């Protein structure tokens, strides 16, 4: 029976978000705020009302707080955080609720399934006891949004698990499983079987045992000595600088944790509040929150009916068992989808399968999964030299060499063998989807599925819509991305789509900088320090100088525009990058990149021969030229409708190109710098370096109007909402 309990105080009413039921002498408060029971307005109030009611009712012997649906409270309401970060309101304050829970004379048991993350875990830690189902996940991921646990989490967590584990959890932001949480002391009992029944039994057991029940804020056993703590804090800071490069929040979390072990609880809480208030206004926090919402926005496709059912992919096929085909086969097998993997060449097929096996063996060795899991996955991949069985596949992905004539020929063949209704996809990274679709009698079923290397690891999937691609095929691609646990971003058909189209001018500009006097390692260092996962010359060497060279052959600069000069020479010298041990860098036996005087000399010689004056180039100019050139291209991409939103371009760069999330992606970063400033610099570069720097019309317009890419996105979203209603 469900009874809503109204204790009479209007601001403390149990509500539709939190149901209160009585199971004998145990009061159960169930949070019902789908999909993830976030702490939206009303939820803390509802829980507090339930606890207040229990405290006032002597027939209630214990309290259980549990999540309805698929999870416990999974975290804060990030919309609220976004508002606070934008300066409207503050982070939700849970102090009153946490105190009510902790001061309750009856035992309060938190019953956890699904996830207890962020604010969810902070609420759970105020309970006297926590029980969880096996595999439930607990964590403080706030640093990933540029903040720290701000509802006393940094003060309670070390009291439960000790400082070292608390530093690890708050700095990494990772979630741990209930079993590990039990070992750490964050969970008191694992409940096999029905969670509510187990939690009720546990609550009665604790009530029977009698109070006082442990208040986390009063625990001190695990707080450690000042000397021990100083060592942990120092090691934590070093770790944070290494693993969370350039991020403010992880270091700030350690400051708050340090306060927890050094100060009384209330003073520590004050310190925590000061720190989170400061962090909420930072560019990093705003950028990370933007990145969070940008990733969720990609599945909103204007004009695509929400109820359009995707085609179920029960059997997949792949043509080409090379780097990409093998990786895609693994991505499919990892998601439990059987896949036929065809290559035209026995040796290539054998190489492909052996690369897959090696990869899986590595994972088993590292303990990521068991041998059994590996065997199951290998069994889902069927290597073959023919198209046998393709007729039963729901989806085929072509991943042969990047050659239009070859791809057309393959698609003509696929059109012949695949059943009607099957999706025909290509993994091309630059070629024209419409030209490929034109080789079939069913261009509506053709789509680009551009995976990134290694395809079983990289999260980005660019979904390239051709002129005739049907809405259902788009819906299928988006749904497949989810099944493969990837971020599917729908983009339009043009050379290089979104990601590689912006990459080309970025690479070109970096090479121009080198020709003007900045060494490749100087350019790379500046980009790395700014936050890119890798420098661009190192990326070039990893992807292969030959690959770049071929791209430039097939997609030369428009007539009259200067091309970078040194790349061709590296190609001709056979310096193809990591695979030949030398490219822009020299590589030692551990694949470490070493600056190469031979390359420096080559660049200087080339510059001299071509009359390129040499000068000292600042880090600031390197960043401006490399990043602004991408932004300028991004503005064109947006203007042409190749990307649906500026935030989609950001997601492409965050999920696929190692762009630092704390800058929010190239378009968000442009907004934070200010479009007028960026436009002015681009004009200057245009005057100094010529037509490559022609400012994008959209950028010019927004700069003149004082607009931002974010406001343009918001305006479009409003129009779409109006059109949909």
Query: How far apart are CB 454 and ligand NAI at their closest, in Å?
Result: 8
- Interhelix angle 536-543/520-530, nearest 10 degrees: 110
Query: How far apart are CB 363 and ligand NAI at their closest, in Å?
Result: 20
Query: How far apart are CB 423 and ligand NAI at their closest, in Å?
Result: 17
Residues 6+ apart with CB under 8 A from 24: none
Q: How does strand 18-23 pair with strand 423-426?
A: unpaired
Q: What is the dihedral of CA 73, 77, 78, 79, to 10 degrees?
A: 160
Positive or negative torsion for Cα 335, 340, 345, 350: positive
Active site residue 142: yes
The number of angstroms, rounded, from the C-alpha of 587 to the middle of its chain's C-alpha atoms is 30
Q: Where are the beta strands (DSSP E) in 234-290?
A: none
Query: How far apart are CB 263 and ligand NAI at their closest, in Å?
Result: 51
The 10 Å CB-count burial string (b at 16+, else e) for 570-597 is bbeeebbbbebebbbbbbeeeeebeebe
Alpha-helical (H) ranges within 36-150 are: 43-55, 78-85, 95-102, 119-126
Out of 45, 122, 295, 509, the active site residue is 122
Burial of 379 (0-12, 13-18, 19+ CB in 10 A): exposed
Torsion angles phi and psi, residue 492, rounded to 5: -90, 175
- 470 near 445, Cβ under 8 Å? yes
Task: Give the three-state DSSP class for 553.
Answer: helix
How far, in Å, CA of 112 to CA of 116, rounded? Answer: 7
Q: Which of residues 220 and 409 has its CB atom nearest to ligand NAI in the complex?
A: 409
Q: Which of residues 145 and 381 has its CB atom nearest to ligand NAI in the complex?
A: 381
- 376 near 364, Cβ under 8 Å? no
Q: How does strand 316-319 pair with strand 137-139?
A: unpaired
Out of 48, 102, 142, 462, the active site residue is 142
Query: How far apart are CB 507 and ligand NAI at their closest, in Å?
Result: 14
Query: How far apart are CB 550 and ligand NAI at their closest, in Å?
Result: 9
Q: Which of residues 84 and 503 has its CB atom nearest to ligand NAI in the complex?
A: 503
Please identify the residue of the shown chain whose CB is closest to the bound ligand NAI.
322
- 157 near 140, Cβ under 8 Å? yes
Q: Which of residues 127 and 543 has its CB atom nearest to ligand NAI in the complex?
A: 543
Residues forming a β-bridge with 460: 487
Query: How far apart are CB 405 and ligand NAI at their closest, in Å?
Result: 11
User: What is the length of the chain?
Assistant: 725
Q: Which of residues 451 and 571 has its CB atom nearest to ligand NAI in the complex?
A: 451
Q: Which of residues 247 and 321 has its CB atom nearest to ligand NAI in the complex?
A: 321
How far, in Å, CA of 209 to CA of 203, rounded? Answer: 10
Residues forming a β-bridge with 109: 64, 129
Q: Which of residues 149 and 535 has its CB atom nearest to ligand NAI in the complex?
A: 535
Query: How far apart are CB 384 and ligand NAI at their closest, in Å?
Result: 10
Residues in touch with ligand NAI (CB under 6 A): 319-325, 342-345, 348, 399-402, 406, 410, 427-429, 450-453
How far, in Å, CA of 559 to CA of 116, rounded? Answer: 58
Instruction: Give me the DSSP letters along 332-350.
Output: HHHTT--EEEE-S-HHHHH
Q: Which of residues 31 and 655 has its CB atom nearest to ligand NAI in the complex?
A: 655
Query: How far apart are CB 400 and ligand NAI at their closest, in Å?
Result: 4
Q: Which of residues 75 and 448 has its CB atom nearest to ligand NAI in the complex?
A: 448
Count helices and strands in the chain by DSSP H and E runs? 30, 19
What residues are labeled active site?
122, 142
């Amino acid at each position: 029976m469900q009874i809503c309990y109204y204790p009479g105080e209007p601001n403390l009413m149990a509500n539709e978000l939190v149901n209160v039921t009585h199971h004998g002498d145990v009061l159960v408060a169930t949070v019902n705020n789908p999909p993830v029971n976030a702490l939206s307005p009303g939820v803390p109030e509802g829980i507090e009302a339930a606890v207040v009611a229990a405290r006032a009712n002597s027939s209630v012997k214990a309290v259980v707080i549990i999540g309805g649906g698929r999870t416990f409270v999974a975290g804060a309401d990030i919309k609220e955080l976004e508002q606070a970060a934008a300066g409207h309101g503050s982070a939700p304050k849970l102090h009153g609720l946490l105190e009510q829970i902790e001061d309750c004379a009856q035992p309060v048991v938190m019953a956890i399934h699904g996830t207890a993350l962020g604010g969810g875990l902070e609420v759970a830690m105020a309970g006297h006891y926590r029980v969880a189902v096996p595999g439930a996940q607990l964590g403080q991921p706030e640093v990933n949004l540029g903040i720290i646990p701000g509802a006393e989490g940094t003060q309670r967590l070390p009291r439960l698990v000790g400082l070292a584990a608390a530093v690890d959890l708050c700095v990494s932001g990772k979630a741990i499983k209930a079993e590990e949480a039990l070992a750490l002391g964050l969970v008191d009992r694992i409940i096999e079987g029905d969670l509510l029944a187990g939690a009720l039994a546990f609550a009665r057991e604790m009530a029977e045992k009698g109070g006082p029940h442990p208040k986390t804020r009063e625990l001190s056993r695990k707080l450690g000595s000042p000397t021990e703590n100083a060592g942990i804090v120092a090691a934590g800071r070093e770790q944070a600088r290494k693993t969370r490069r350039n991020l403010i929040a992880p270091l700030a979390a350690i400051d708050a944790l340090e306060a927890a072990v050094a100060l009384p609880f209330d003073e520590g809480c004050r310190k925590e509040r000061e720190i989170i208030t400061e962090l909420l206004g930072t560019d990093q926090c705003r950028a990370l929150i933007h990145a969070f919402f940008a990733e969720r926005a990609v599945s909103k496709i204007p004009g695509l009916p929400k109820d359009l059912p995707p085609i179920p992919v029960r059997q997949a096929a792949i043509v080409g068992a090379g780097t990409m085909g093998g990786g895609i086969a693994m991505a499919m097998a990892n998601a439990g989808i059987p896949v036929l993997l065809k290559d035209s060449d026995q040796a290539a097929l054998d190489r492909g399968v052996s690369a897959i096996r090696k990869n899986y063996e590595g994972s088993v060795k590292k303990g990521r999964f068991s041998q059994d899991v590996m065997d199951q996955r290998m069994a889902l991949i069927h290597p073959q030299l023919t198209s046998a069985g393709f007729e039963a596949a729901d989806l085929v992905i072509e991943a042969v060499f990047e050659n239009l004539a070859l791809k057309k020929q393959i698609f003509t063949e696929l059109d012949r063998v695949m059943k009607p209704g099957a999706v025909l996809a290509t993994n091309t990274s630059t070629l024209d989807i419409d030209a490929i679709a034109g080789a079939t009698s069913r261009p509506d079923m053709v789509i680009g599925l551009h995976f990134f290397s290694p395809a079983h690891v990289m999260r980005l999937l660019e979904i390239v819509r051709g002129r005739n691609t049907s809405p259902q095929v788009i819906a299928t691609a988006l749904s497949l991305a989810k099944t493969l646990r990837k971020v599917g971003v729908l983009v339009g058909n043009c050379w290089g789509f979104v990601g590689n189209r912006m990459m080309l001018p970025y690479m070109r500009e970096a090479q121009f900088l080198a020709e003007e006097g900045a060494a490749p390692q100087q350019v790379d260092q500046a980009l790395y320090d700014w936050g890119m996962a890798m420098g661009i010359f190192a990326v070039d060497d990893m992807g292969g100088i030959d690959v770049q060279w071929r791209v430039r052959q097939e997609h030369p600069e428009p007539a009259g525009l200067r091309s970078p000069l040194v790349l061709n020479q590296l190609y001709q010298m056979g310096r193809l990058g990591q695979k030949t041990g030398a490219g822009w860098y020299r590589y030692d036996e551990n694949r470490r990149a070493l600056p190469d005087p031979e390359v420096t000399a080559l660049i200087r010689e080339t510059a001299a021969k071509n009359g390129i004056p040499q000068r000292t180039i600042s880090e600031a100019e390197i960043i401006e030229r490399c990043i602004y050139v991408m932004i300028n291209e991004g503005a064109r991409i947006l203007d042409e409708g190749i990307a649906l939103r500026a935030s989609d371009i950001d997601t492409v760069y965050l999920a696929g190109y190692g762009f630092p999330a704390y800058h929010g992606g190239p378009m968000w970063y442009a907004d934070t710098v200010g479009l007028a400033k960026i436009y002015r610099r681009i004009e200057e570069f245009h005057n100094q370096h010529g037509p490559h720097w022609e400012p994008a019309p959209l950028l010019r317009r927004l700069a003149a109007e004082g607009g931002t890419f974010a406001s343009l996105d918001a305006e479009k979203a409003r129009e779409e909402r109006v059109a949909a209603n």
